[in-house]
Chain A
Amino acid sequence: MSEIPKRFWNEYQKEIADDHYFYERSCIRQTFFPGSEAAFLKIMREELGKDIKDEANQHTCTGIGYHSDVVPIETTMTVVARLFSLMTEDGYENYVPSCVTSFGVFTEMVEMWKHDPALLEQARKYLREATGREFELPKNIAHPSDIIFKFRNELKPKMKYQLVNRFTGKPLRAVEHVGCHYAKIFPEKGVGKSEFPHVLSGMIEAWGGEVIDYPERRHCCGFGFRQYLVQENRGYSVANSKKKFESMEPYEPDFILTNCPGCGMFLDKWQYTIAELEHKTYDKDGYGIPVLTYEELTGLLLGYDPWVLGLQLHQVQCETLLNKIGIAYNPDEKYKGVSGKVLSMPDKPTVLKV
C-alpha cells in the first residue's frame, strides 16, 4: 500500500449549543439500538452535567413518510410545529433530534420558513386549528452526534478505555459512515460539511483510533428510502452495502461507526444476509465487522456495560471488538433481562460466527 500523506479533514465548525437541550427521540432507533438513546441521556446528565429534557408527549417527525412522498408537506410542517410547541412549552430553545433524518427534516422546515414566512404562518395556523398550541422556532438545532463531538475532549479523561488494540498497541482502525440527511441537504449544518464530515471521524481520532478513508466512503449505506421501503427493491439496498464492504475489506476495519439509524442497521444486518447468501464475511475470522452507534461507542469507552448498551441485539456481535479494546464483560449476563433471568437465546446464523 502506498504511503498517503496525512489527510486534512475540513475544520469547518457549526454552532452547537452548550447546554439546555430538548431531546426528541427517534421512531426507529429504540428498536435497532435499544440502549443508545438512554446512553446519550446518561452521558449528557451524568458525565457532562447538562440539562436535557426527554419529553413524554413527543412523537414521530414524519421523516420517512415525508421522504417517501406518502406524507404531504403540510402535515410534516404541522407535526414539526407540534414538536416545537412541546419544546416551547417546556421552556427550551435548543432542539436535539436523535435521528439524522429528523435532523434533516427540522433543519429543512426551519430553512423553508426562513425563506418563505407565509409557510411559517400557515404552519402556525394549522397547529392552532388542530391543537390550540403555539410555538417558537429553536435557536439551535444540533444532532446528538454534534454534541458528543463538541464535548469529545471533555469526555476523553472520563473514559476507562481508548481506541487502541491492547494486543498490538496500535490504534483501532474504524470506518465511519455519516447519514445523508446530516450534511448532504445543508452542508453548513454539519461539522466538516458534506464532503469530509468530521463529526464521527473527530470522535474516533480524539479517542485514539484511526479513520479509514476507503474508496466507497461516501457511497450510500443501503438505507436509501427508495431501496428499502419497497420490499422488491431491497436487493439494491444489499448491493449498496456490499459495495461498501468490499471496498473497506482490504483496510481490515476493527469496527464501523454510524450516526444514522438506517446506516447502522443495514451495515449491521446485511452482513448476515450476505453471509447467508454468499458465504462471505468481511473480516478475517468470520465474525463480521461490528457496527456501533456513536452513543454505544462513547458508552463503551466510558465503561458502560455492553449488555446495558444493547450490543447483544446487533447482528454482528461485538465481542471481537470488546476483546481488542480490553473491555470487561460477563458473557453469562448477555441475554439476561433486568429481572436477572435469561430472556431467550437467539438462533445462530449459518455462516456468521457469534
Chain B
Amino acid sequence: MKTIAIIGAGPAGIEAASILAAKEETEILLFEKSASTLDNLRDKAFLFPDFSAADDLVEILEAKLNRDNIKLLSGKEVKSVTEQDGGWQLQDAEGTSYTADAVLMTTGYKVFDAHRKEELGYGIYPGVITSIDMEKKIKEGKVLNAVGDTPKKIVFLQCVGSRDEKSGNHYCSKVCCVTAVKQAIELRKLLPEVETYIFYMDLRMWGGGFEEMYRESQEKYGVRYVRGRISEAASTYDGKIQIKSEDTLVGLPLKMSADLLVLMVGMEPSEGTKMLTRQCNCADSYGFATTMNPHLRDNETAQPGLFVAGSCKRPMSLNDTLTDARSAVVKIAEYLR
C-alpha cells in the first residue's frame, strides 16, 4: 500500500487524487484547510472560453472524490511537511501526524487584496468592486450600481496587483485579460444597454479560443478597449466613480465617470503555499513553488517525493491547472514505482 498526501482540495488536488486513486493498493490523504472543497471555483459563474457553468464543473470534480481510497480531510490545515526515513511526515494544525510515501502540494493561490491599491478606491467607494465581486453578481444574475440602479457604464481595469511595481508583483496573472473579456460579454448579455470599457496594458489572449472571444466581444457585443492604466478613482457627487487614465494609443489624458469600476485582481500564492514552499525550501521570491526544470521536471521539487501542481507554482488558468495535475500524477507514479 502506498500513501500519497495531497495538500489542497482545489481542482488540481481533486484531479490528481482521482487519477492516483484509480491505481490499486493506493491511499490518498486529501487535506483541505477549509470546510469545503473548490472554494475559488464556487465563486465563478461561467468559465472561459466556452461559457460553461462553473457549477457543473464543481459537480463533476466533487463526484471524482467518491472513492473509498480517497480520504478527504476537510478543515485540516497542514502546518508542516518533513522528510522522514525516505518517506514524509505531515502535521496538521491540531498536532495530528500523518505519514505518506509522497506528497503533492496543490495549495493554490489567493486573490490579490485590492485594498492595497488605495488610489483605486476599493473598500472606500462602493462603486469599486473586484472581478471576484463581479463574478458573484453575474452568478446571481443581478448587477446594480452603488445606488441600487441598473448600471449604464461599467469600466474594467486590468493588471490590479499584477505586472505592478508598487505592489511588488512583477509577474502576469495570466487569467485576468480573458476574464474581463468574458465578464464584459456576460454583462452585455445580461444588460444589453450597458456600455463596457476595458482598460489594459496589453491584452494577452494566449489560450485556445481567447483571441476569438476578444474579437467577438468587439464585433458582436460592442465591448470597448482602451490601452492605458487608471491612475486614480474617486467618487462623484452622485455616487458614480470618476476615473483618470491616459489613452496611450492616442496619447491623451482621459477622464470618465462610470457606475462600476471592476478591478481585475491578480493571483498571489495562498498563505498555505507561502508557508509550505518556505518550509520546504522551494519558494521563489513571491512565495510560489519552484520546480527542478520548467520544461521536463515542472512538477518536481529538489526534494525527491515532494511534488507540486497547479497555481501554487505560478498563476494558472483552470484548464492548465487540471492538465498540470495530470502531469504531476505521471511523475508521482514514476517515483512510487
Contact = CB atoms under 8 A, between A and B. Distances in A.
Contacts of A10: 118
A242 interface: no
The A interface, classified by DSSP as helix, strand, loop or mixed, is: loop
Interface stretch (B123-131, B261-269, B295-303): B123-131
A2 B234 contact: no
8 contacts: A1-B239, A2-B238, A4-B125, A8-B124, A195-B118, A215-B234, A218-B119, A218-B234
Contact of A213 (B119, B123, B235): B235
Given A215-B242, A217-B234, A4 B123 contact: no
B293 interface: no
A251 interface: yes
Contacts of A250: 237
Contact size class for B? 10 to 19
A188 to B, nearest CB: 13
B113 to A, nearest CB: 14
Interface residues of A, number: 18
Contact of A2 (B123, B124, B147, B242): B147
B232 interface: yes
A216 interface: yes
B280 interface: no
Contact of A215 (B126, B147, B236): B236
B205 interface: no
Given A10-B118, A195-B118, A4 B236 contact: no
B118 A2 contact: no
Nearest to A5: B126
Contacts of A8: 123-124
Interface in B110-156: 118-119, 123-126, 146-147
A348 interface: no
A330 B276 CA distance: 72
A145 B125 CA distance: 27
Given A1-B238, A195-B232, 15 more contacts: A4-B126, A4-B235, A4-B239, A8-B123, A195-B119, A196-B118, A213-B235, A214-B234, A214-B237, A215-B235, A215-B236, A217-B234, A218-B232, A250-B237, A251-B237
A7 interface: yes
B151 to A, nearest CB: 13
A10 B232 CA distance: 16
Contacts of A1: 237-239
Given A195-B119, A218-B232, A7 B238 contact: no
A2 B232 contact: no
Interface string A168-205: 00000000000000000000000001011000000000
Interface string B179-207: 00000000000000000000000000000
| 4 cross-chain pairs, A with B, having the tightest CB-CB distances, nearest first | A2-B239, A195-B118, A215-B242, A215-B234
A219 to B, nearest CB: 9
A56 to B, nearest CB: 42
